[in-house]
Amino acid sequence: MEKLGGISVFVEVVEAGGFSAAASGLNLTRSAVGKTIARLEERLGVRLFHRTTRSQSLTEEGRFFYERCLKALEEIKIGEALLEAGKQTVRGKLRVSMPVIFGRQCIAPILISLLDDHPELELDLSFNDRIIDLLEDGYDLAIRNGPLKDDQDMMARLVAHQRLTVCASPDYLAKHGTPQSLEDIPKHVGIIYGRQDKHRTWVFPTDDEPWRQVQPKSRMRLDDLATICDVAIEGAGLVWLPCWMVREHVAAGRLVRVLKDVRPVIFQSHAIWPRSPVMLPKVRLAIDALVARLPGLME
């Protein structure tokens, strides 16, 4: 502790601009400050300050040591704050933005379940597929699918890997046959996801090339995944959807997964939140719950 005390006095001297100003700020005598710095220099075996009768200035070694002392003291502050945060009751309003269908089916149930054990927690959930500005719009947390843009103002944590799968209804497969390979997909009818005159190309990783692009024949383009799933259940054609979205339909026999031996596209889902030295307990609780429970919903 004496060593840490010497470091804090040293940092105060640098930032105050001299021994006298530092002594005033620390409520010590100038002599006590001078002795502390002298003991620190003796222990380190270097001179930290150039001293004259009127001023003190950092030596090269002093500047080097000062920069590292700042980092060390900041880490100590963060550690103290994290310990204090761990003692706090999870309370207050947690504002979360998430994609509409993924949020409704996977994210929201996990977050809502937290209310049972945390009576002082409130949830404000927003379902929107557009990319929002957390700082400008006042959100504590957002869920993003796919690659993240580099943003120095944000922190991120991986919460799940999503897999895409090709499915069709039993009726469709009985009438048109079951595709056995990627070469069969263009022979089949599909329901395509599209928005603003752009459609999602079906792609699959292969050993021979990074991505193999294939596309079924289609007369139907929809911009809502839930509707695409509903239409597929009615027998309209093949669909290419996230596994979590079709899991219950497959279990109930309404849809059948095909091309199970083909490697699926896998993409990441992240939780992002505004950068801060200390994570709020409500944010930590939500992220930990998603990390623990989301992967089990992705198969």
- For strand 189-195 and strand 266-274, is the pairing parallel, antiparallel, or unpaired? unpaired
Torsion angles phi and psi, residue 237, rounded to 5: 155, -170
Out of 30-44, 87-101, 121-135, 237-251, the most confident range is 237-251
**pLDDT at 180 (0 to 100):** 94
The model's pLDDT over 19-52, given as tens digits with 9 standing for 90+, comes to 888 888 888 888 888 899 888 888 888 999 888 7
In this prediction, residues 243-258 reach a mean pLDDT of 95
Domain 92-160+269-297, CATH 3.40.640.10 — does that match?
A: no
Parts of the chain belonging to CATH 3.40.190.10: 92-160+269-297, 163-266
Instruction: Tell me the whole-structure pTM to 2 decimals.
Output: 0.68
- The residues of the chain that CATH labels 1.10.10.10 are 2-87
Q: Check pLDDT > 90 for residue 209.
A: no
- The domain defined by 163-266 folds into D-Maltodextrin-Binding Protein; domain 2 (3.40.190)
Strands 202-204 and 198-199: unpaired
Q: Note the pLDDT of residue 276.
A: 81
* Cα distance between residue 236 and residue 228, in whole Å: 9
- Residue 159 CA to residue 297 CA, distance in Å, equals 11
Res 14 pLDDT > 80: yes
Q: For the segment 120-175, what is each residue's pLDDT rounded down to a tens digit? A: 999 999 999 888 888 888 899 999 998 888 888 899 999 999 999 999 999 999 99
Sheet strands (E) in 133-265: 141-145, 154-168, 189-195, 198-199, 202-204, 212-214, 217-222, 239-242, 256-258
CA distance 278 to 79: 9
**What's the whole-number mean pLDDT along residues 104-120?**
95
Alpha-carbon distance of 230 to 288, in angstroms, equals 32
Please, which pLDDT band fits residue 222 given cuts at 50, 70 and 90? Answer: very high
Q: What ranges in the chain are assigned the alpha helix state H?
A: 2-16, 19-26, 30-44, 60-87, 100-102, 108-113, 134-137, 170-176, 225-233, 243-251, 281-293
Confidence at residue 3, expressed as pLDDT on a 0 to 100 scale: 59
Residue 178 near residue 258 (C-beta atoms within 8 A): yes
* CB atoms closer than 10 angstroms to residue 145: 16
Write down the architecture of domain 2-87 according to CATH. Orthogonal Bundle (1.10)
